Structure 1
């Protein structure tokens, strides 16, 4: 960045996700981010009160994207079975428009291991995901909440495998739906 280019809050957040991808949570500090963007720390503090506020804004972006992806999927399907399939696939396939990494789940989950505030946000998002999954399962006639946890765990775990599709998730949903 040149000194004439004004950085936006979005520029800082994108740099934060890139830093998180490349250097982990310890890279989320004003000085290294400013160096990365070729500017002063003053620009950082123009947009964020402190590093905690910056990290909270990053989590806001991740949470909004993750949940928007889910609600969009839910609204597009006519029946519970199809919505369940799309929801599970949506969790598996979700990729961010802001992060430098195509798997923001991996980044957030790794960060949450050592950061209680991040863990709280992850728990909130996973709770909403579980609520949606449970609701669709119940609507489909399946009342065991363990299935929602298994579907969520499989959805998150599939992102860690070196594959390009979510066919295994479809097979899991088919299996679960056969239980009704």
Structure 2
């Protein structure tokens, strides 16, 4: 999506009709054909990101049957680059998180995604027998921070997240 690319490359200032039209080599009228206004475009972009973020996790969890495998995969999906992000110059989530610092709509979308992910992690940890909510926050904070860390090898961040989950599980 052009909005993702613009946000990741140039920040929130690029999420306006004129910069997007230039990027797409089209007119502002074309932008307004698709969206009533810039706030409607922002809403559509954030709604899409939120839906993709939760759907990606649901699909990843469906690949595992045991809570340990699900927790490991969940942390790896959040912390590692998603396959669909590898085609982009940069991943979208760090850009949306940066935008959320100054934009209420983006902040609400990030909060909903964070709450969804934290609830999934907390449920899985509880099923495994770890009731300490701090473990959920530690794993999640590492996962979202890992997104900003350059990988030393392909899949390195996801592997590191798997190792963190293994370490937490060893502590129980």
Normalised by the length of structure 1, the TM-score is: 0.86
2:20 maps to 33
How far apart are residue 93 of structure 1 and its match? 2.2
Q: Please list, as runs of the form range in 1=range in 2, the aligned pairs for 1:48-87 lying within 5 A after superposition.
A: 48-87=35-74
How far apart, in 2, do the equivalents of 1:135 and 1:69 lie?
A: 18
2:166 maps to 174
- The gaps in structure 1 that reach 5 residues or longer are 1-13
Q: Please list, as runs of the form range in 1=range in 2, the aligned pairs for 1:118-137 lying within 5 A after superposition.
A: 118-137=106-125
Q: How far does the alpha carbon of each residue in 1:78-110 deviate from its partner, in whole angstroms, 9 at most, with x for none?
A: 111111001100111243747834422211111
Runs of 4+ residues over 2 Å off in structure 1? 93-102
Normalised by the length of structure 2, the TM-score is: 0.90
Give the number of the structure whose alpha-carbon radius of gyration is greater.
Answer: 1
Q: Determine if contact 1:88/1:151 at 8 Å carries over to the other structure.
A: yes
Q: Determine if contact 1:69/1:94 at 8 Å carries over to the other structure.
A: no
How many residues end up aligned between the 2 structures? 167
How far apart are residue 66 of structure 1 and its match? 1.1
- The gaps in structure 2 that reach 5 residues or longer are none
How far apart are residue 57 of structure 1 and its match? 0.8
Q: How far does the alpha carbon of each residue in 1:132-175 deviate from its partner, in whole angstroms, 9 at most, with x for none?
A: 00000000000011111111110111122221312221221111
- The yes-or-no answer on 1:105 pairing with 2:97 is no
Query: Which sits farther off after the overlay, 134-143 or 36-45?
Result: 36-45
How far apart, in 1, do the equivalents of 2:74 and 2:30 lie?
A: 39
Query: Which sits farther off after the overlay, 159-168 or 114-123?
Result: 159-168
Cα RMSD (Å) of the superposition?
A: 1.6
1:21 maps to 8
How far apart, in 1, do the equivalents of 2:46 and 2:83 lie?
A: 12
1:94 and 1:69, CA in 2 relative to 1: closer, same or farther beyond 3 A?
farther
Partner SS, residue 102 of structure 2: coil
Q: Please list, as runs of the form range in 1=range in 2, the aligned pairs for 1:137-152 lying within 5 A after superposition.
A: 137-152=125-140
